[in-house]
Amino acid sequence: MKKLEELIGASLFERGSRGVALTRRGGELIVNARRIVSLLDETSASMAAAPLGGPVRIGIPEEYGHAILSRALGAFSKRHTQVEVTVRYAHSGAQMAALAAGELDLCVVFEWQDPAGGEVLMHDPTVWVTSTLHHMHEEQPVPIALYNRAGWCKDFAIKSLEQRDLAYRVAYTSDTTGGLKLAVTSGLAIAPISRSNIPDGCRELTTADGFGAIDSSNVVMHRNPNASGEAIDGMQDAIREAFVNRLSQPAASS
């Protein structure tokens, strides 16, 4: 461990009256080490499986397109070079409509209430998020960023503020989660963001701040009942495994 500390240039453990504990850098090392082990497990399983072939059409949400699902799709495509993967990147309502129209074989979506069918991959509630630098939640009225999709915002985000008698003004609107994150990190507003997607330098606003969870979202995978084929089966397994690995990793502090 001493050699590792010398290599990193930081202490990994600290000794106190209660024994030995990890330092902040030690905790970061553990998180990264577990991610590496997880990726090695994914690679090993992928290499052991026989290559698949055929088409698969999948819809994914923005919130997981840059991390969990991008790695899963990349590893799957690299291993199964004969599979024709087509990806649709859109919000949940559009994905479900495409699935119903037979335009997708699989889709991963957010469902804000009890999931109607499908396979729950992860519980990931939407929460109000503020910048730790700008503290926009302390302003009166509080500036908020919202999606342009009025239905969800009215039924969930705005309702959560009105239930707590919090005065607000809409300071920013966006079609994407990336836009909401930009509003928060730039110090323009607070925003509703899924808990697993809180940006660096930001934090969840809890009941201690006078706020609370906005909804009880689940991440759900749906399959077209008319879709069949080994490529679809394999992709479904790869997505499921990606979320299992995500849940087995401790959350890094933001």
55: cis peptide before it, omega within 30°?
no
The answer, yes or no, to whether residue 50 has pLDDT greater than 70, is no
User: Which tops the pLDDT comparison, 9 or 134?
Assistant: 134
CATH number at residue 203: 3.40.190.10
Same domain, 98 and 135: no
Same domain, 15 and 87: no
pTM attached to this predicted model = 0.70
Residue 41 lies in a domain: no
Residue 43 lies in a domain: no
pLDDT at 17 (0 to 100): 64
Residue 253 lies in a domain: no
Distance CA 234, CA 95 (A): 20
Residue 40 lies in a domain: no
Residue 45 lies in a domain: no
Alpha helices per DSSP H over 157-251 = 159-162, 177-185, 230-248
The answer, yes or no, to whether residue 2 has pLDDT greater than 90, is no
User: CB under 8 Å, gap of 24 or more: what pairs does 226-229 form?
Assistant: 226/102, 227/105, 227/106, 229/54, 229/55, 229/56, 229/105
Same domain, 131 and 205: yes
In the chain, what is the straight-line distance between the N-terminal and C-terminal CA atoms, in Å?
A: 26
Side-chain-side CA neighbours of 143 within 13 Å: the count stands at 15
Query: Structural domain of residue 31, as residue ranges?
Result: 2-35
Same domain, 87 and 117: yes
The answer, yes or no, to whether residue 46 has pLDDT greater than 60, is no
Same domain, 68 and 179: no
The answer, yes or no, to whether residue 66 has pLDDT greater than 90, is no
Same domain, 201 and 131: yes
pLDDT digits (tens, 9 = 90+) for 109-138: 988 776 678 899 999 999 999 999 999 999
Q: Select from 183, 161, 158, 159 the least CA-distant residue to 172.
A: 183
Number of domains in the chain: 3
Nearest 5°: CA angle at 207, between 245 and 190?
A: 75
| pLDDT, averaged across the chain | 85
* Two tokens, residue 66: 């840059």
pLDDT at 212 (0 to 100): 87
